[in-house]
């Protein structure tokens, strides 16, 4: 399970992160999201994507969100050796590309969580706080970290970047 909270970027947050968190990596991520051939992921709140970045290529399934305050959901990731072959495989299985999401991501580690500063093409700048392989009980850790960075629980955004991009269109 991926336990995650997202917030609109506030000035000074990245400077604060540099003071209290361990920098991990800065990278560009290129995602292509797909829709299932037999059901509408928009209606079921699921997602399948292919991601390419400096660390390689990953195909990811995301299940429906499990609570109303966060973006927490089941997540299954598979590393593959070819973006093009993964794209072709999904298309041959009937999946159809929906939209691309491109972002510059700066990753920090803080109190057992990953904190990302994301510049997302077309929608803006955000902070994501994530604990992989967690449980929904870990959301309190996320909100404690968010508070450290100047965010309240009520400022949490539950929309995905894909949902934001589709809403903008």
Active site residues: 33
User: Could you please report the per-residue DSSP string of 93-125?
Assistant: TT-EEEEEEEEEEEEEEETTEEEEEEEETTTEE
Would you give the distance in Å from CA 152 to the centre of its chain?
Answer: 20
Burial 126-145 (b: 16+ CB within 10 A, else e): bbbbbbeebeeebbebbbeb
d(CA 51, CA 82): 10
Distances 107 to 26, 43, 75, 130 between C-alpha atoms, Å: 6, 31, 19, 11
């Amino acid at each position: 399970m991926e336990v995650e909270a997202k917030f609109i970027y506030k000035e000074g947050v990245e400077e604060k992160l540099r003071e209290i968190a361990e920098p991990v990596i800065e990278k560009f991520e290129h995602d292509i999201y797909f829709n299932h051939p037999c059901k509408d992921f928009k209606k079921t709140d699921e997602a399948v994507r292919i991601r390419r970045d400096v660390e390689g290529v990953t195909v990811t399934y995301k299940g429906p969100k499990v609570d109303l305050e966060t973006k927490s959901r089941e997540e299954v990731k598979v590393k593959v050796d070819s973006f093009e072959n993964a794209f072709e495989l999904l298309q041959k299985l009937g999946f159809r590309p929906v939209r691309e999401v491109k972002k510059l991501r700066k990753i920090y580690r803080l109190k057992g969580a990953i904190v990302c500063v994301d510049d997302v093409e077309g929608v803006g700048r955000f902070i994501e706080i994530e604990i992989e392989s967690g449980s929904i009980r870990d959301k309190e850790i996320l909100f404690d970290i968010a508070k450290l960075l100047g965010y309240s629980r009520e400022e949490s955004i539950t929309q995905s970047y894909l949902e934001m991009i589709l809403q903008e269109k």
